[in-house]
Amino acid sequence: MQKETSQTFAIEPFHWDKLSQLHPTDVCNRTEATYHPAREGFILPVYNRRYLILPKRKKILRMEWNDHPVEEELHQYFYLMVLVYLTNAKDIKPTHTWVNEKGLKGGFTFFQGPHSLQVEELINLFGKDSEAFLKTGKKLGGSEILYGDKGFALEVFPKVPLAYILWKGDEEFPPRIRVLFDSTIESHLPLDVIWCMVAETSRRLTEHALPK
């Protein structure tokens, strides 16, 4: 079992305060989280795991299989995307229609330059190994979809699926990876948080690919 460690990343108090002011029933109806009255927190599935979000303590803990909460070193992006999902998500089901970042309103101009989706490290790792790409996606709870040479879809949040598609490189073309979103994602997250979510997802995929 992972030892408890201090969480070093701060997040704007605004997001915690906003969540604290919302009624738990409203949050759960919109996000498919569950409320734990004794702990005064929300349990939310994220990346095939369960996390306990505690607004009063301003903490996010990972729930073990025996419902024992433990602290985990979590990136600031993770905090942000979880809190914004809990406060902003709408009572809308995924359509399971995939769109790329350019298909999002404002996405064509936003996801460029420093806001390009972070997939370069994954391309370096998997550009010539599509089976390892798929295997790593499954470690994060993904399931295969028939796009490109290999692709997988995973559920970041209950209403926010994400897909990664790999086209292997050859003598003529370099390998490439595309990220696809459910067409409803803009109802739940703004563009900057979508960017953070992809960065966090790519980081976790990279970690799963590296030898322990």
Looking at the DSSP bridge assignments, the partners of residue 43 are: 34, 52
Residue 84, C-beta contacts closer than 8 angstroms, at least 6 positions apart: 15, 189, 190, 193
Indicate the pLDDT class of residue 8, thresholds 50, 70 and 90.
very low
pLDDT of amino acid 6: 36
**Pair 108, 73 in one domain:** no
Domain closes at, from 35, 55, 88: 88
**Pair 31, 106 in one domain:** no
Residue 49, C-beta contacts closer than 8 angstroms, at least 6 positions apart: 62, 63
**Pair 179, 110 in one domain:** yes
Q: CA-to-CA distance for 209 and 139, rounded, in angstroms?
A: 9
pLDDT of amino acid 203: 96
**Pair 110, 73 in one domain:** no
> Does 3 reside within a domain?
no
Is residue 180 scored above 50 in pLDDT? yes
**Pair 68, 151 in one domain:** no
Q: CA-to-CA distance for 125 and 133, rounded, in angstroms?
A: 8
pLDDT of amino acid 173: 87
Indicate the pLDDT class of residue 5, thresholds 50, 70 and 90.
very low
Does 171 or 83 have the greater pLDDT score?
83
Is residue 121 scored above 70 in pLDDT? yes
Among 2-6, 63-67, 159-163, top mean pLDDT goes to 159-163
Its domain, for residue 183, covers 98-209
Is residue 167 scored above 50 in pLDDT? yes
**Pair 46, 84 in one domain:** yes
**Pair 55, 146 in one domain:** no
> Does 2 reside within a domain?
no
Is residue 4 scored above 50 in pLDDT? no
CATH number for the domain harbouring residue 182: 3.30.310
Q: CA-to-CA distance for 118 and 86, rounded, in angstroms?
A: 24
> Does 4 reside within a domain?
no
Q: Give me the DSSP letters along 143-163.
A: EE-SSSSEEEEEEEETTEEEE
**Pair 108, 195 in one domain:** yes
Residue 101, C-beta contacts closer than 8 angstroms, at least 6 positions apart: 107, 108, 110, 111, 117, 179, 181, 194
pLDDT of amino acid 211: 64
**pTM recorded for the entire structure:** 0.91
> Does 116 reside within a domain?
yes
Mean pLDDT over 190-201 rounds to 97
**Pair 199, 130 in one domain:** yes
Indicate the pLDDT class of residue 98, thresholds 50, 70 and 90.
very high
pLDDT of amino acid 65: 83
What mean pLDDT is reported for the chain? 92
